[in-house]
């Protein structure tokens, strides 16, 4: 391992360790590239190194049922495909791994068999099936299954079962009778590096010798890693892990990766060396599945993001500058997976630019929005303004007034010319021909219910009246998929707040009073059925509530629902529920102005000396590739919208339907058949989105004042008059400032 | 002469390190604030008195300045009077050393209580569903939202007095102790009563102490913002919206031009009267 060079790279790792420049002209660092497979491939299952050199990848197409083993001697070289006699369509795969002999192993339930099976796909494409003999599940009446699979350097197969125990599988019979002695603790997930089994259990991280089955000395590096970040302890999403492992070139060494990058340490080390920084590439935006070494200083990472599964290759390029020559700083009040994906896309195209993402409020530091804005302002006053600012939650109007933000109308026009934009969103941000901040995403608040409910939902007050009447006509019946007081206010604020501002820029008190009254009616309609309240806590669960609510309507547990719709998955859920119930959806509110919720509103600092790079990043964020990701709102980019529609229609509208099942907070199971999305439905949504002309109020101070006071009113702790007076008094001071 | 010069130079050497600290951390930054009060927030272009005009025209600033002045006008005399009374009372029991020590310590306790704890106490007591309303309710009296009504000003005044009284009492006690007992004895021999002694001996001899107490109390009064902000946030009830609130909120909006102009005005408003007071008392010596 080139530790010297690694150290150079590790200096790029943190947000603080920005490069000054490679003044000495030093060359060489890890660079990222996407491993390209034929377009037919829709899912990549596993990746692994072969014992004699070279790598193997198992991939398939869920529609055609074709499965391939892709093999290459060098990850950057040519890949040869070997079709396997196995279809993975309509299968549930719980674990997959590549063995040192180049075969791929899969476990899960397959369309042609009952129960759990293990399949071995040999390098020549021949498939062998085995029935895994599993111990019984303790204290539960259910069949045991394999939840994770891994293979060590000697070809030993290890699986994790529902008991949280690691079992050694007999490769000949598939029998999983031999239990690894990892103590009595429930194992959350594991990794394999050479002949080391790395077990993450409730008490921390423990390393075992796969050959002897005995515990090894504590790995200080890994223990400290887990101790520093408890989120690495649990694997909440099936098939993806916070930490992935593989063996390094040096005997006994471990390479591990998490969202912050790829690290290496040998068994004598007390600290690890960062080989690749997550800030510099796409790792940070991926959910990790596996890592493999394709050669010395050549890594393959299998991960998933909103676009599906991908393999990223990180290889050492001795010809590129050891440190990027430029640094682009992006500031956002809150972290965003989509922003990180955009940075990844930008980074791939601009490897000579170092991107630092500064997040104002992280889960760890407990900083309030006000403190974060104050800290940002201090930096701005010190002449250290970020080059690109994600303006969500920031005092945008004030920044524009102070001349802090550059006019980005030229960049927006360029993207519009190339890909097309939702003109209604662009127009909402155009002032005297200039645009100082443009959202990359937007989404609506919708109502889902029978025709009269949707019609009533054209105004928040009408909707409240409808809910009140329906509650009276249906005593004891849950009317709306309900939210806690904060959730009601959060959602209705986004639906109606654009109507509160008068032409003179002041707050329309009458309209605000009507809104509070409506919110109270909506909240009270189901208040006496509080034991059925679906959400008991308010914690960022309000994005995409329309789709979730639709499932309750579909199951007859609520008559209607309202909430945000932030992706086509949400639309598909509404369509699936509509198909069963005859309900429909429409925009909530907007009898005067139909509003959208802007997201990732982005501006460029006027003082930045990286104008060109900042513009390039904004183009990526507003661009087609980023727009083709179906999450965190709908893209303003029309080509991106078309791409995401095409992709989802292909996925949801295919003959093989997708079922999505989940369990709610009360333990009830619910499921969807996702097969109703078609071009017509997408076009209808596009037409609705085009009709949204103004952004909802994004002023953090007004929202905080209104929701804090409004909550007291909804909960019956204050009268309407008192609340309106308090809001008026506070907002008038704010506006007077 | 040379000797006098040398003495001055030595004196300067002693003063210089302290002065440099004051210069670096206060004087030079204030000069920068003064400069900023005449330039635009972004771009640093000279704009004359525009920032001052903007500040004077700002309704929120006028409200904050008015509230701050009212607060000072109510709190300062109240604090000085109450603490002086307490100090005189304590002096009267000075012979009982144990009682004296206990009472003096009790007065100082609020000073040691961290602001965050005070705020927590406020919230428990003055909340809509707090202790005070609970007690009032028990007596059939309707409570109110103390921190979101005009009563908030009273709560703030009470908090200021409660927090600062102990410190001021100690200052008064030090001042009272500095008056020679022989003067009182001589006055009493001449037939002076308690009131005469207080008016003709205590007050005149304590002028420097009174000046110091007024200045310290005035400066401490600006610290009450901490509690007000922690309890009611950036936009409290009208009557407790103070100058520091508007400074804080302007900083969030990056209105450095307005902050600079308002800071200069505040400086004049605070140090002008202090200097005037000093001159008056120096002249009356």
Q: Name the one residue in this structure whose structure tokens are 């515990």.
A: A215
Between CA B46 and CA B262 the distance in angstroms is 17
Of A464, A677, A668, A684, which Cα lies nearest the Cα of A551?
A668
What mean pLDDT comes out for the span A687-692? 92
Residue B70 lies in a domain: yes
pLDDT score of A21: 43
Q: Would you call B145 and A701 a contact, using CB atoms and an 8 Å cutoff?
A: no
Q: Which of B128, B249, B254 sits opposite A737 (nearest CB)?
A: B249
Q: Would you call B237 and A729 a contact, using CB atoms and an 8 Å cutoff?
A: yes
Between CA A643 and CA B44 the distance in angstroms is 47
Q: Would you call B254 and A718 a contact, using CB atoms and an 8 Å cutoff?
A: no
A720 to chain B, any CB pair closer than 8 A? The answer is no
Residue B19 lies in a domain: no
**B257 min Cα distance to partner chain A (Å):** 10
Residue B36 lies in a domain: no
Residue B20 lies in a domain: no
Q: Is B36 exposed, middle or buried (0-12, 13-18, 19+ CB in 10 A)?
A: buried
- Sign of the dihedral through C-alpha A434, A437, A443, A446: negative
pLDDT at A536 over 70: no
Name which of A138-152, A644-658, B106-120 the model is least confident about: A644-658
Name which of A449-463, A662-676, B41-55 the model is least confident about: A662-676
Q: Are A542 and A487 in contact (CB under 8 A)?
A: yes
pLDDT at A636 over 90: yes
B254 to chain A, any CB pair closer than 8 A? The answer is yes
Confidence of residue A209 (pLDDT cuts 50, 70, 90): very high
Nearest CA in chain A to B42: A402
Q: Which of A370, A398, A729 sits opposite B238 (nearest CB)?
A: A729
Rounded to 5 degrees, φ, ψ at B177 are: -70, -20
Q: Are A172 and A120 in contact (CB under 8 A)?
A: no
A382 to chain B, any CB pair closer than 8 A? The answer is no
Residue B49 lies in a domain: no
Residue B45 lies in a domain: no
pLDDT score of A92: 86
User: Residues A116, A117, A121, CA angle at the centre, nearest 5°?
Assistant: 150
Between CA A371 and CA A364 the distance in angstroms is 14
pLDDT at A525 over 90: no
Predicted confidence (pLDDT) per residue in A305-344, tens digit:
766 788 999 998 888 777 777 889 999 998 888 888 888 8
Task: Give contacts of A717 with chain B, Cβ < 8 Å.
Answer: 128-129
Of A147, A156, A169, A243, which Cα lies nearest the Cα of A195?
A156
The partner residues of A40 in beta bridges, in order of sequence, read none
Of A636, A664, A434, which Cα lies nearest the Cα of A551?
A664
Structural domain boundaries, residue B148 = 59-283
- The interface predicted TM-score (ipTM) is 0.82
Q: Name the one residue in this structure whose structure tokens are 């197969």.
A: A157
pLDDT at A531 over 80: no
Domains and CATH numbers, chain A: 1-34+188-322 (no CATH), 39-179 (2.130.10.10), 445-587+699-736 (3.40.190)
Nearest CA in chain B to A722: B148
Structure tokens at A372: 């974060």
**A621 min Cα distance to partner chain B (Å):** 26
What mean pLDDT comes out for the span A72-85? 87
Task: Give contacts of B251 with chain A, Cβ < 8 Å.
Answer: 374, 377
pLDDT score of A279: 67
pLDDT score of A537: 46
A384 to chain B, any CB pair closer than 8 A? The answer is no
Q: Is A370 helix (H, G, I), strand (E, B) or coil?
A: helix
The partner residues of A670 in beta bridges, in order of sequence, read A662
Residue B151 lies in a domain: yes
Q: Which of A399, A701, A718 sits opposite B145 (nearest CB)?
A: A718
Query: Within 10 A of B208 (CB to CB), how many other CB atoms are there?
Result: 14
pLDDT score of A654: 56
Predicted confidence (pLDDT) per residue in A3-59, tens digit:
333 333 333 333 333 444 444 567 788 888 888 888 888 899 999 999 988 999 999
Q: Is A309 helix (H, G, I), strand (E, B) or coil?
A: strand
pLDDT score of A424: 93
- % of chain A at pLDDT higher than 70: 90
A368 to chain B, any CB pair closer than 8 A? The answer is no
pLDDT score of A387: 95
Rounded to 5 degrees, φ, ψ at B249 are: -70, -35
Predicted confidence (pLDDT) per residue in A484-503, tens digit:
888 889 899 999 888 887 77
Structure tokens at A47: 């990746």
Residue B276 lies in a domain: yes
Our count of domains for chain B comes to 1
Of B25, B15, B119, B58, which Cα lies nearest the Cα of B255?
B58
pLDDT at A2 over 70: no
Would residue A632 be called left, alpha or beta, if left means φ above 0 and alpha means ψ between -120 and 50 degrees? left
Q: Name the one residue in this structure whose structure tokens are 């001795």.
A: A318
- Output DSSP code: residue A389: E
Question: Which string of DSSP letters, residue by residue, matches B71-129?
Answer: HHHHHHHHHHHHHHHHHHHHHHTTTSHHHHHHHHHHHHHHHHS-HHHHHHHHHHHHSTT
- Sign of the dihedral through C-alpha A317, A323, A329, A333: positive
For A233, residues 6+ apart whose C-beta sits below 8 A from its C-beta are: A188, A200, A202, A204, A226, A242
What CATH number does residue B118 fall under? Answer: 1.10.3720.10
A377 to chain B, any CB pair closer than 8 A? The answer is yes
B91 to chain A, any CB pair closer than 8 A? The answer is no
Q: Are A631 and A623 in contact (CB under 8 A)?
A: no
Between CA A327 and CA B134 the distance in angstroms is 59
Predicted confidence (pLDDT) per residue in A90-126, tens digit:
788 889 999 999 999 999 888 777 788 899 999 999 9
Q: Name the helix (H) or strand (E) containing A245.
A: strand A244-247
List of chain B residues with pLDDT < 50: none
B68 to chain A, any CB pair closer than 8 A? The answer is no
Q: Are A263 and A256 in contact (CB under 8 A)?
A: yes
Q: Are A595 and A515 in contact (CB under 8 A)?
A: no
Between CA A415 and CA A617 the distance in angstroms is 12
Between CA A323 and CA A319 the distance in angstroms is 11
């Amino acid at each position: 391992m080139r530790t010297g060079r690694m150290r150079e790279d590790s200096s790029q790792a943190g947000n603080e360790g920005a490069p000054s420049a490679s003044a000495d002209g030093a060359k060489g660092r890890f660079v990222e590239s996407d491993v390209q497979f034929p377009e037919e491939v829709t899912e990549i299952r596993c990746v692994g190194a072969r014992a004699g050199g070279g790598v193997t990848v198992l991939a398939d197409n869920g529609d055609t049922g074709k499965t391939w083993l892709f093999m290459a001697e060098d990850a950057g070289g040519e890949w040869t495909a070997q079709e396997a006699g196995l279809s993975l369509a309509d299968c549930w795969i719980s674990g997959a791994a590549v063995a040192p002999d180049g075969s791929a192993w899969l476990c899960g339930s397959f369309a042609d068999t009952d129960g759990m099976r293990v399949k071995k796909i040999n390098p020549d494409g021949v498939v062998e099936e085995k029935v895994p003999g599993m111990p019984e599940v303790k204290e539960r009446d259910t069949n045991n299954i394999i939840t994770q699979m891994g293979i060590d350097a000697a070809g030993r197969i290890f699986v994790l079962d529902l008991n949280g125990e690691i079992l050694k599988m007999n490769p000949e019979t598939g029998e999983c009778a031999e239990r690894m002695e990892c103590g009595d603790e429930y194992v959350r997930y594991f990794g394999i590096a050479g002949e080391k089994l790395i077990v993450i259990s409730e008490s921390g991280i423990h390393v075992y010798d796969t050959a002897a089955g005995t515990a090894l000395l504590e790995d200080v590096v890994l223990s400290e890693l887990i101790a520093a970040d408890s989120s690495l302890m649990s694997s909440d999403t099936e098939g993806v892990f916070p930490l992935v492992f593989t063996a390094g070139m040096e005997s006994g060494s471990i390479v591990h990766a998490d969202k912050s990058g790829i690290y290496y340490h040998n068994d004598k080390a007390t600290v690890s060396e960062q080989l690749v920084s997550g800030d510099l590439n796409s790792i940070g935006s991926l959910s990790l599945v596996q890592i493999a070494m394709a050669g010395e200083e050549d890594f393959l990472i299998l991960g998933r993001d909103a676009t599906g599964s991908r393999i990223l290759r990180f290889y050492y390029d001795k010809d590129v500058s050891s440190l990027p020559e430029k640094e682009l700083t992006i500031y956002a009040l809150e972290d965003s997976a989509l922003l990180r994906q955009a940075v990844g896309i930008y980074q791939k195209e601009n490897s000579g630019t170092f991107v630092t993402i500064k997040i104002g409020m992280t889960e760890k530091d407990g900083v309030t929005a006000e403190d974060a804005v104050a800290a940002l302002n201090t930096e701005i006053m010190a002449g250290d303004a970020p080059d690109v600012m994600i303006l969500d939650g920031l005092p945008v109007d004030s920044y524009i007034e102070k001349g802090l933000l550059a006019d980005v109308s030229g960049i927006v026009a360029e993207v519009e010319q190339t890909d097309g934009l939702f003109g209604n969103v662009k127009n909402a941000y155009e002032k005297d021909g200039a645009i100082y901040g443009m959202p990359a995403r937007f989404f609506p608040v919708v109502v889902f219910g029978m025709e009269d409910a949707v019609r009533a939902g054209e105004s928040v007050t009408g909707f409240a009246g409808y809910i009140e009447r329906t509650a009276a006509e249906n005593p004891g019946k849950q009317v709306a998929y309900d939210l806690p007081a904060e959730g009601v206010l959060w959602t209705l604020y986004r639906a109606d707040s654009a109507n509160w501002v008068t032409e003179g820029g002041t707050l329309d008190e009458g309209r605000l009073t009507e809104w509070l009254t409506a919110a109270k009616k909506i909240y009270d309609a189901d208040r006496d059925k509080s034991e059925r309240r679906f959400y008991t806590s308010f914690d960022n669960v309000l994005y995409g509530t329309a789709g979730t609510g639709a499932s309750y309507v579909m199951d007859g547990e609520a008559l209607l629902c309202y909430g945000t719709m932030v992706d086509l998955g949400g639309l598909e859920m509404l369509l699936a529920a509509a198909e069963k119930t005859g309900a429909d959806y429409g925009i909530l509110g907007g009898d005067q102005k139909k509003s959208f919720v802007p997201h990732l509103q982005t501006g460029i600092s006027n003082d930045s000396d990286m104008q060109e790079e900042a513009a390039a990043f904004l183009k990526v964020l507003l661009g087609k590739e980023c727009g083709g990701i179906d999450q965190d709102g709908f893209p303003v980019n029309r080509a991106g919208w078309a791409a995401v529609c095409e992709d989802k229609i292909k996925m949801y509208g295919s003959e093989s339907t997708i079922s999505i099942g989940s369990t709610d907070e009360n333990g009830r199971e619910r499921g969807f058949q996702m097969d109703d999305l078609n071009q017509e439905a997408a076009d209808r949504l596009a037409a609705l989105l085009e009709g949204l002309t103004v952004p909802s109020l994004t002023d953090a101070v007004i929202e905080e004042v209104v929701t804090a006071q409004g909550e007291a009113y909804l909960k019956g702790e204050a009268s309407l008059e008192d609340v309106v007076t308090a809001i008026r008094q506070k907002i008038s001071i704010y506006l007077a400032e | 002469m040379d000797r006098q010069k040398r003495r001055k130079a030595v004196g300067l050497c002693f003063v210089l390190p302290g002065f440099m600290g004051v210069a670096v951390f206060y004087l030079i930054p204030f000069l920068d604030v003064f400069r900023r009060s005449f330039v635009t927030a972004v771009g640093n272009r000279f704009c004359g008195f525009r920032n001052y005009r903007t500040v004077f025209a700002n309704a929120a600033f006028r409200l904050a300045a008015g509230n701050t002045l009212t607060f000072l006008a109510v709190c300062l005399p109240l604090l000085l009077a109450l603490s002086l009374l307490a100090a005189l009372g304590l002096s009267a029991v000075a012979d009982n050393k144990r009682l004296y020590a206990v009472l003096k310590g009790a007065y100082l306790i609020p000073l040691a209580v961290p602001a965050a704890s005070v705020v927590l106490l406020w919230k428990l007591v003055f909340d809509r569903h707090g202790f005070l309303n609970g007690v009032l309710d028990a007596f059939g009296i309707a409570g109110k939202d103390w921190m979101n009504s005009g009563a908030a000003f009273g709560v703030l005044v009470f908090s200021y007095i409660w927090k600062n009284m102990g410190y001021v009492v100690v200052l008064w006690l030090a001042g009272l102790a500095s008056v020679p007992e022989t003067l009182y004895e001589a006055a009493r021999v001449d037939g002076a009563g308690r009131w005469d002694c207080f008016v003709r001996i205590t007050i005149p001899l304590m002028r420097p102490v009174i000046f110091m107490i007024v200045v310290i109390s005035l400066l401490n009064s600006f610290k009450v913002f901490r509690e007000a902000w922690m309890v009611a946030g950036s936009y409290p009830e009208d009557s407790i919206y103070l100058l520091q609130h508007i400074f804080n909120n302007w900083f969030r909006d990056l209105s450095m031009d307005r902050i600079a102009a308002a800071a200069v005005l505040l400086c004049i408003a605070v140090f002008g009267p202090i200097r005037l007071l000093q001159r008056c008392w120096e002249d009356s010596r």
